[in-house]
Amino acid sequence: MPSSTRLASPWPIRQRQIRRQIIYLWWTLLLIVSFMLASGMLAVTLQASRDDTRPTDLALVVTPVVPSQAMINHTLDLYRRGLVTQILLVGEGSDGLRARLVEQGLSEERIVLLSPSHHVSADLQLAGQSARTQGSQTVLVVAEPADMLTALKIVRDQNLRAYSSPVRESTLDLGTLFRATMRYWHYVLALS
For residue 60, pLDDT over 90 is answered with: yes
For residue 6, pLDDT over 80 is answered with: no
Beta bridge pairs of residue 162: 139
Give the span between the Cα atoms of 34 and 118, in whole angstroms: 29
- Closest C-alpha among 73, 58, 71, 39 to residue 149: 39
Per-residue pLDDT reduced to its tens digit, 19-54:
899 999 999 999 999 999 999 999 999 999 899 999
Q: Is the pTM of this model over 0.85?
A: no
Per-residue pLDDT reduced to its tens digit, 119-160:
778 888 888 888 888 888 999 999 999 999 999 999 999 889
SS3 letters for 31-61?
A: HHHHHHHHHHHHHHHHHHCCCCCCCCCEEEE
**SS3 category, 84:** coil
What is the H or E stretch that residue 87 is in?
A: strand 87-90
Task: Say which residue, 15 or 142, is predicted with more confidence.
Answer: 142
